[in-house]
């Protein structure tokens, strides 16, 4: 079956929401993440908010109309966030490097591939789809 990877606009995500949630649930149920099904529900809610971020971009992989993987990214704000793991990153890099290296760069937030598609190069294709148009070549993964 042919897999199609395409970049999608924030407004198009809704049509893929159930498939993205399913891939997330299956991809992150195994170790080392061990997420329960409620984690996928929380991610689906967070994705709707994330899609509103400046510079948001997403890529979705489908095969026969079924979502087999996805990636999301956005531009890291000039005021570096402090929630999630950002504080640890800022502490490790220090203020000058955090500002110079990460603020204004494309931040890859999520990348997930359905277990049956592991080892096919789909993750690399999704990563390329969201990072390909990076204006100055700076991108990073939280």
Burial 132-141 (b: 16+ CB within 10 A, else e): eebeeebbee
pLDDT in tens, 55-70: 999 999 999 999 999 9
CATH of the domain at 97: 3.40.630.30
Query: What is the rounded average pLDDT of the residues 46-59?
Result: 93
% the chain with pLDDT above 90: 84
In the prediction, which pLDDT does 30 show? 87
Q: Give the count of domains, the chain.
A: 1
Max CA distance (Å), the chain: 48
Query: What is the rounded average pLDDT of the residues 31-55?
Result: 92
In the prediction, which pLDDT does 134 show? 80
In the prediction, which pLDDT does 115 show? 94
Closest CA relative to residue 20, chosen from 71, 95, 64, 86:
71
Query: What is the rounded average pLDDT of the residues 33-52?
Result: 92
- 57 is in which domain, residue-wise? 3-141
Return mean pLDDT, the chain. Answer: 93
In the prediction, which pLDDT does 1 show? 67
pLDDT(25) > 80 = yes
pLDDT in tens, 92-141: 999 999 999 999 999 999 999 999 999 999 999 999 999 987 878 899 99
Q: Which residue has the tokens 């100055």?
A: 136
């Amino acid at each position: 079956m042919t897999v199609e990877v395409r970049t999608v606009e924030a407004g198009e995500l809704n049509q893929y929401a159930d498939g993205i949630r399913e891939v997330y649930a299956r991809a992150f149920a195994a170790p080392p993440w061990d997420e329960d099904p409620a984690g996928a529900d929380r991610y689906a809610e967070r994705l709707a908010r994330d899609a509103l971020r400046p510079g948001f971009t997403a890529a979705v992989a489908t095969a026969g109309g079924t979502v087999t993987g996805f990636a999301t990214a956005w531009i890291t704000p000039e005021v570096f966030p402090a929630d999630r793991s950002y504080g640890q990153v800022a502490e490790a890099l220090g203020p000058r490097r955090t500002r110079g290296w990460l603020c204004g760069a494309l931040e890859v937030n999520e990348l997930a591939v359905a277990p049956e598609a592991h080892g096919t190069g789909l993750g690399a294709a999704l990563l390329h789809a969201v990072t390909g148009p990076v204006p100055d070549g700076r991108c990073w993964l939280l």
